[in-house]
């Protein structure tokens, strides 16, 4: 990966959420970082390389923020497992515990737990400037003496202290910390017993092993431990921290009076959402067009410069088309995640969770579900991963289950095509664009059905544990550009890799299904037209189009389409739409490309011509236009509800570690889609 040998130092960065941990990680590694599967698990952890004095290198991993060594959420589990699992290959040599100096007491609780693991630790203090504004005077020498370790204050914004931190890392290879409490005395018998099994463990490691395997035995000892730790920390802080001036009312509190105001709070939130969606659609239009054009240029270039044949066809219509289907959504996804990253980094998102929790709770979710749901408008894959910080299992599962109902960006091209077929590009009362209104309606349908589905699931899914919403409201901070850029790189990479590999794979399979047919049916078509070609006055282009569409009919995909036709006929769909529905399993927007292929148009990127061709389509029996209002709406609603996305299914499997939820999700969304489309078509036909 990073060409590191086993001898090189392994460093783990850990700390409470909102302590500036990731900024420290970014300052140490710069762009030299990547997200990778962590030690054989499916969980992804950020890692990077730290170079010291141009020759020494170390591998750093950035663990998700954690409040305690006893994990409560999926995120925390990942972090703690990396730290305490002794068999882990990534088991760190040095642990950097990052603590927010303006919120030292609670941050030190976690520090003292990590320190008791017995590994070399360094305390990294961030937000010294904020602590100073709060009137806190921290005596670093006394703090360091009391804890028995090196304390390094840093400011990732201007890089102050980072060099000192690097020096400290490479010179701290011995554990020197003091133990703040006497763990052995909390449970002498249990620890003695555990030590027989693990003679190499220290007292706290034994305690953690008991926690892991026989939690019920510890019972009240855990809160007793916490009380003792806080009391020890209190004594240290009494010694090393003085409050100089009385606190003034903080800026954050004043800002909260407006941002969480009972009326203005919601008005501001809705306004921010409006700005986000407005800019996603207006700004990302342009880069999306460039991407589309460059891919079709590249495809044309490939077609014309390399020998014709199945391989050429596979690369152009399978791989390049698949890749283009992934990359084209990057602008929208990057923009949406940029907004979310800014709002999250500033501390505003915690307030949104605070304001929305009561509403979300009524439908079985949590205030923390709001961010994943909003992100669902871009792409379900990273949104499902973003539910990891929801502690309660039931609330997290419900959130994961309803995210795909939010209209993701892949549905947009489908909606756009179908809407343009049924309504003219006109203005209503001179202000509202009719097409825009219908599009907005589709997004609202997605949102409200997600809420309704969550409400139903609240009664169907049994809770495993007591749910709660205990969330820190961090002080407001100016977002850091570097963090945001790195977050965007990470999210885009997740999208391109996680969604991308599935989309490309399915595109290739679809290409094969559409390019080959049973028996020698394809050869017969070729033969038929080879004869005609000699005498017929049809031009070459028309003939090639006819061949294409007849081959599609005869292909495996065509057979499949006709096989499922009886099932989708009640929804108003024919076998051609059947193929498109099936191919949408790669990614929904593939619908547009498939329609282009089916209606034998050479140029796939021109959606206007697809629209015109589809509007000309007549029903073979009644000879009326095929795409009536009823068919178009039925199809749009089918796309709004159905989970036609292999990447999402794969992600749900990975996050829940069982096929149960992935398959239930697929079944309920498909059932819902079928039902709604059936009703719409039968009522309005």
Partner 1 sequence: MQTLVDLKKGEYATITAISDNQLKLKLMEMGCIPGETIRLSQIAPLGDPIAIEVQGYTLSLRLSEAASIKINNIIPKTIKNKSFSA
CB contact at 8 A, 364 and 455: yes
Residue 464 or 660: the one with the smaller Cβ distance to partner 1 is 464
609 binds partner 1 (CB under 8 A): no
Residue 70 or 674: the one with the smaller Cβ distance to partner 1 is 70
CB contact at 8 A, 324 and 292: yes
Residue of 320, 323, 116, 135 whose CA lies nearest to 204: 116
Among 167, 247, 278, 542, binds partner 1 (CB under 8 A): 247
CB of 245 to partner 1, least distance (A): 10
Among 55, 262, 426, 657, binds partner 1 (CB under 8 A): 262
CA 187/CA 147 separation, integer angstroms = 23
256 binds partner 1 (CB under 8 A): yes
In angstroms and rounded to an integer, the radius of gyration of the C-alpha atoms of the chain is 29
Residue of 244, 480, 487 whose CA lies nearest to 382: 487
Residue 359 or 538: the one with the smaller Cβ distance to partner 1 is 359
CB of 299 to partner 1, least distance (A): 52
Q: How many CB atoms lie within 10 A of CB 476?
A: 19
Q: Take residue 50 and report the two structure tokens written for it.
A: 């730290």
Question: Near partner 1 by CB under 8 A, which window of 28-36, 349-357, 603-611, 664-672?
Answer: 349-357
Residue 253 or 536: the one with the smaller Cβ distance to partner 1 is 253
683 binds partner 1 (CB under 8 A): no
Question: Near partner 1 by CB under 8 A, which window of 103-111, 300-308, 381-389, 501-509?
Answer: 103-111
Owner of token pair 């189009």: 545
CA 503/CA 511 separation, integer angstroms = 12
Residue 255 or 629: the one with the smaller Cβ distance to partner 1 is 255
Residue 151 or 610: the one with the smaller Cβ distance to partner 1 is 151
Contacts with 460 (C-beta within 8 Å, 6 or more apart), sequence order:
none
CB of 369 to partner 1, least distance (A): 14
CB of 402 to partner 1, least distance (A): 21
Alpha helices in 52-161 (DSSP H): 74-84, 104-115, 128-133, 140-147
| DSSP letter string, 591-655 | HHHHHHHHTT-S-TT-HHHHHHHHHH-B-TTT-SBSS-HHHHHHHHHHHHH----HHHHHHHHHH
Interface with partner 1 in residues 41-80 (CB under 8 A): 67-68, 70, 72
With 0-12 / 13-18 / 19 or more C-beta atoms within 10 angstroms meaning exposed / middle / buried, residue 170 is middle
CB of 315 to partner 1, least distance (A): 54
140 binds partner 1 (CB under 8 A): no
241 binds partner 1 (CB under 8 A): yes
Question: Near partner 1 by CB under 8 A, which window of 174-182, 194-202, 248-256, 510-518?
Answer: 248-256
Here's the x/- map for partner 1, 543-582, by CB under 8 A: it reads as ----------------------------------------
Here's the x/- map for partner 1, 451-490, by CB under 8 A: it reads as --------------xx-xxxxxxxx---------------
136 binds partner 1 (CB under 8 A): yes
Residue 70 or 170: the one with the smaller Cβ distance to partner 1 is 70
Which is it for strands 121-126 and 151-153: parallel, antiparallel or unpaired?
Answer: parallel
Contacts with 248 (C-beta within 8 Å, 6 or more apart), sequence order:
none
Residue 121 or 138: the one with the smaller Cβ distance to partner 1 is 138
With 0-12 / 13-18 / 19 or more C-beta atoms within 10 angstroms meaning exposed / middle / buried, residue 356 is buried
Residue of 68, 86, 88 whose CA lies nearest to 77: 68
Helix axes 162-170, 21-29, angle to 10 degrees: 80
Among 106, 119, 179, 654, binds partner 1 (CB under 8 A): 106
Interface with partner 1 in residues 107-126 (CB under 8 A): 109
| DSSP letter string, 374-395 | HHTTT-HHHHHHGGGG---HHH
CA 569/CA 565 separation, integer angstroms = 6
- Give the total of residues touching partner 1 (CB under 8 A): 50
The continuous run of DSSP H or E covering 434 comes out as helix 434-460
Among 2, 243, 293, 536, binds partner 1 (CB under 8 A): 243
Residue 105 or 660: the one with the smaller Cβ distance to partner 1 is 105
CA 404/CA 652 separation, integer angstroms = 10
Residue 104 or 506: the one with the smaller Cβ distance to partner 1 is 104
CB of 349 to partner 1, least distance (A): 13
306 binds partner 1 (CB under 8 A): no
CB of 227 to partner 1, least distance (A): 6
Among 52, 266, 277, 529, binds partner 1 (CB under 8 A): 266
493 binds partner 1 (CB under 8 A): no
Side-chain-side CA neighbours of 438 within 13 Å: the count stands at 23
With 0-12 / 13-18 / 19 or more C-beta atoms within 10 angstroms meaning exposed / middle / buried, residue 636 is buried
Q: Take residue 393 and report the two structure tokens written for it.
A: 């299992």
Residue 142 or 564: the one with the smaller Cβ distance to partner 1 is 142
CB of 475 to partner 1, least distance (A): 8
Q: How many CB atoms lie within 10 A of CB 443?
A: 17
105 binds partner 1 (CB under 8 A): yes
Owner of token pair 């802080």: 237
Interface with partner 1 in residues 399-428 (CB under 8 A): none
214 binds partner 1 (CB under 8 A): no
Among 133, 157, 160, 361, binds partner 1 (CB under 8 A): 361
Angle at 145 between CA 141 and CA 146, to 5 degrees: 120
367 binds partner 1 (CB under 8 A): yes
237 binds partner 1 (CB under 8 A): yes
253 binds partner 1 (CB under 8 A): yes
The continuous run of DSSP H or E covering 500 comes out as helix 500-515
Residue 133 or 613: the one with the smaller Cβ distance to partner 1 is 133
Task: Give how far Cα 243 sits from Cα of 109, 137, 142, 147, 365, Å.
Answer: 20, 6, 15, 20, 41
17 binds partner 1 (CB under 8 A): no
The continuous run of DSSP H or E covering 197 comes out as helix 188-197
Residue 162 or 241: the one with the smaller Cβ distance to partner 1 is 241
C-alpha torsion sign, points 77, 83, 88, 92? positive
268 binds partner 1 (CB under 8 A): no
Q: Take residue 250 and report the two structure tokens written for it.
A: 């903080």
Question: Near partner 1 by CB under 8 A, which window of 79-87, 226-234, 276-284, 428-436?
Answer: 226-234
Question: Near partner 1 by CB under 8 A, which window of 353-361, 512-520, 550-558, 670-678?
Answer: 353-361
Question: Near partner 1 by CB under 8 A, which window of 97-105, 328-336, 395-403, 409-417?
Answer: 97-105
CB contact at 8 A, 109 and 230: yes
CA 362/CA 454 separation, integer angstroms = 9
Binding residues vs partner 1 (CB under 8 A): 67-68, 70, 72, 102-106, 109, 134, 136, 222-223, 226-227, 230, 234, 237, 241, 243, 246-247, 252-253, 256, 260-263, 265-266, 350, 354-355, 357-359, 361, 367, 465-466, 468-475
């Amino acid at each position: 990966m990073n060409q590191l040998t086993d001898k090189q130092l392994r460093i783990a960065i850990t700390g409470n959420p909102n302590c500036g941990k990731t900024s420290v990680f970014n300052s140490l590694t710069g762009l030299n970082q990547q997200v990778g599967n962590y030690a054989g698990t499916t969980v992804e952890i950020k890692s990077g390389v730290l170079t010291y004095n141009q020759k020494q290198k170390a591998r750093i991993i950035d663990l998700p923020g954690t409040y305690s060594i006893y994990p409560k959420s999926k995120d925390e589990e990942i972090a703690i497992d990396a730290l305490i699992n002794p068999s882990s290959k990534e088991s760190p040599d040095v642990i950097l515990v990052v603590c927010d100096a303006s919120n030292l007491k609670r941050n030190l609780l976690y520090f003292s737990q990590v320190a008791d693991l017995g590994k070399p630790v360094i305390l990294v203090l961030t937000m010294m400037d904020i602590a100073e504004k709060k009137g806190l005077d921290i005596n670093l020498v006394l703090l360091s003496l009391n804890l028995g370790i090196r304390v390094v204050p840093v400011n990732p914004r201007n890089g102050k202290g980072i060099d000192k931190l690097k020096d400290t890392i490479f010179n701290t290879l011995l554990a020197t910390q003091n133990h703040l409490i006497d763990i052995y005395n909390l449970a002498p018998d249990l620890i003695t017993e555990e030590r027989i099994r693990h003679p190499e463990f220290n007292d706290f490691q034994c305690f953690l092993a008991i926690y892991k395997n026989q939690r019920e035995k510890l019972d009240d000892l855990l809160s007793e431990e916490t009380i003792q730790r806080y009391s020890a920390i209190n004594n240290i802080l009494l010694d090393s921290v003085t409050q100089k001036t009385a606190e003034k009312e903080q800026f954050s509190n004043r800002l909260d009076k407006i941002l969480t105001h009972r009326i203005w709070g919601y008005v501001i939130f809705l306004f921010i959402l409006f700005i986000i969606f407005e800019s996603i659609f207006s700004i990302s239009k342009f880069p999306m067009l460039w991407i589309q054009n460059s891919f079709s240029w590249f495809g044309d270039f490939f077609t014309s410069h390399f020998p014709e044949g199945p391989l050429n066809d596979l690369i152009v219509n399978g791989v390049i088309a698949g890749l283009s289907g992934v990359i084209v959504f990057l602008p929208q996804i990057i923009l949406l995640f940029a907004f979310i990253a800014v709002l999250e980094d500033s501390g505003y998102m915690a307030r949104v969770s605070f304001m929305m929790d009561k509403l979300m709770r009524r439908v079985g979710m949590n205030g923390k579900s709001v961010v994943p749901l909003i992100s669902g408008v871009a792409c379900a894959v990273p949104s499902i991963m973003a539910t990891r910080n929801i502690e309660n299992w039931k609330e997290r599962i419900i959130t994961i289950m309803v995210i795909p109902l939010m209209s993701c960006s892949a549905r947009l091209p489908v909606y756009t095509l179908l809407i343009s077929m049924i309504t003219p590009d006109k203005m209503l009362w001179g202000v509202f664009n009719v097409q825009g209104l219908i599009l907005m309606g589709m997004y609202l349908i997605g949102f409200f059905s997600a809420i309704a589905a969550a409400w139903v699931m609240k009664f169907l899914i049994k809770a495993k544990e007591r749910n709660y919403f205990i969330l820190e409201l961090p002080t407001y901070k100016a977002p850091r550009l570097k963090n945001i850029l790195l977050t965007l790189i990470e999210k885009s990479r997740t999208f391109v890799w996680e969604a991308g590999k599935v989309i490309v794979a399915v595109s290739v399979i679809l290409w094969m299904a559409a390019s080959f047919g049973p028996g020698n049916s394809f050869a017969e078509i070729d033969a038929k037209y080879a004869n005609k070609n000699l005498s017929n006055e049809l031009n070459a282009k028309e003939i090639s189009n006819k061949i294409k569409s007849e081959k599609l009919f005869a292909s495996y995909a065509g057979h499949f389409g006709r096989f499922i036709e009886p099932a989708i006929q009640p929804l108003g769909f024919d076998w051609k739409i059947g193929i498109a529905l099936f191919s949408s399993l790669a990614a929904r927007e593939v619908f547009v490309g498939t329609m282009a292929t089916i209606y034998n148009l050479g140029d796939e990127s021109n959606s206007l011509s697809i629209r015109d061709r589809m509007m000309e389509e007549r029903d073979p029996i009644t000879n009326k236009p095929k795409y009536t209002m009823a068919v178009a709406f039925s199809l749009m609603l089918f796309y709004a509800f159905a989970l036609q996305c292999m990447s999402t299914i794969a992600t749900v499997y990975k996050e829940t570690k069982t096929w149960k939820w992935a398959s239930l999700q697929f079944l309920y969304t498909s059932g819902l889609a079928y039902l709604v489309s059936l009703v719409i078509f039968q009522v309005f036909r």
